[in-house]
Amino acid sequence: MIAAVLAVAAAASLWDQAFTLARAGEATATLRARCPACDWSSPTRTAAMLVLDVDGRDPRNLLLYRGEGPAEYAVSLGGLRAGVHRLRVRLDPRATARDVRSATVEDVRVDVTTAEAPEYPALAHAPVLHPRPNAVGRFTDVPVRSKGTGASAYVGRVVPRSFTMLLSVTTHREGCRPAANPR
């Protein structure tokens, strides 16, 4: 029964709307969202995993972990051409903590950074996080802070060469945060 409810929740979009970009560039979506059952201190309610896709391609994941909220979460949508696009957001029950059954997206704002903007090279070359192989199914990593260091020239602009990422994976009773989907 629970699996059927989660399957229906996964199929239903939390957000499904078109947006228009006047110019091409690096798009960033800022979601105002809430996860009423999420509680980072509970091993079975740590977070809800959302999947975002633009125009049905290139899915991105976003972890809602700030609790009842609402809270703002920013996520890169990548480089997009000018014109009309469709953003769809849905809950991924397989990657969501087992005692979290729902999440809500109240609003989404999409901004574009064009090639002329000073921050464009950093956004266009931002790192993509992948799960650590030894953490899959064991821990949930949430980026706490990132910092670009060093520099290199890119079409007359300076771009960070390396990034330092601080992940929150500690302070649970057992010494590490459990996975978002312990089952």
**Domain for residue 102, yes or no?**
yes
Angstrom distance (rounded) from CA 97 to CA 103: 12
**Domain for residue 51, yes or no?**
yes
Handedness of CA 52, 54, 119, 157 (dihedral sign): positive
**Domain for residue 33, yes or no?**
yes
- What's the CATH code of the domain at 85? 2.60.120.260
**pLDDT at residue 168 in the model:** 43
**pLDDT at residue 117 in the model:** 92
**Domain for residue 155, yes or no?**
yes
Domain count, the chain: 1
**pLDDT at residue 54 in the model:** 96
What is the DSSP secondary structure assignment for residue 12, as one 8-state letter?
S
**Domain for residue 182, yes or no?**
no
* pLDDT in 10s for each residue of the chain, 183 residues: 454 444 444 457 999 999 999 999 999 999 999 999 998 888 888 889 899 999 999 888 898 988 888 999 999 999 999 999 999 999 998 888 889 999 999 999 999 999 999 888 888 877 766 556 665 555 555 655 555 554 444 444 555 544 444 444 433 333 344 444 443
Question: Domain containing 159: what range?
Answer: 2-168
**Domain for residue 181, yes or no?**
no
**Domain for residue 174, yes or no?**
no
3-state SS, residue 123: helix
Angle subtended at Cα 60 by Cα 107 and Cα 50, rounded to the nearest 5 degrees: 55
